[in-house]
């Protein structure tokens, strides 16, 4: 999504992966012309709003996954998670907010109920 936003708005978008005083907040830096930055900010806001509120008929499930297996779900360069999303039709996100040394991570799966069930089966 970030690459798509950068391409469509002719901007550079960087997300600060360092911790924040707010657990769910990340600093986003958008560079480009003032007009393109404004367009990118509006599109980022829309993406975030859609991510927070599942669409009509959509569900969200959270699945616990051992930390040692998260890399297998994501895959090299995100290849596996993209394949899982394509095969299931659901959006899959590995929650990046976790305590250091945690034994498990949360995998968030969103989409139509049948897509979410298919994704859960593929992830497990």
pLDDT tens string 82-111: 999 989 989 999 887 777 888 899 999 998
Name the phi and psi angles at 13, rounded to 5: -120, 125
In angstroms, what CA-CA distances link 15 with 2, 72, 102, 115?
A: 9, 23, 23, 29
Classified as helix, coil or strand, 25 is coil
The model's pTM: 0.55
β-pairing, 59-66 with 104-111?
antiparallel
CA distance 113 to 115: 5
Q: Provide block-wise average pLDDT over 10 residues at a time, the chain (124 residues).
A: 87 79 72 92 79 71 90 88 90 84 89 91 86
In angstroms, what CA-CA distances link 93 with 22, 31, 37, 78, 109?
A: 19, 26, 26, 11, 6
Residues above pLDDT 90, as percent of the chain: 29
Classified as helix, coil or strand, 103 is coil
């Amino acid at each position: 999504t970030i690459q798509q936003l950068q391409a469509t708005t002719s901007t550079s978008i960087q997300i600060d992966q360092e911790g924040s005083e707010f657990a769910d907040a990340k600093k986003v830096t958008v560079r480009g012309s003032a007009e393109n930055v404004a367009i990118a900010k509006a599109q980022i806001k829309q993406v975030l709003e859609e991510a927070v509120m599942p669409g009509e008929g959509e569900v969200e499930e959270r699945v616990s996954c051992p930390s040692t297996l998260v890399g297998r779900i994501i895959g090299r360069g995100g290849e596996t998670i993209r394949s899982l999303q394509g095969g299931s039709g659901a959006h899959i996100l590995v929650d990046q907010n976790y305590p250091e040394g945690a034994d498990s991570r949360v995998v968030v799966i969103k989409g139509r109920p049948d897509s979410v069930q298919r994704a859960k089966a593929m992830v497990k």
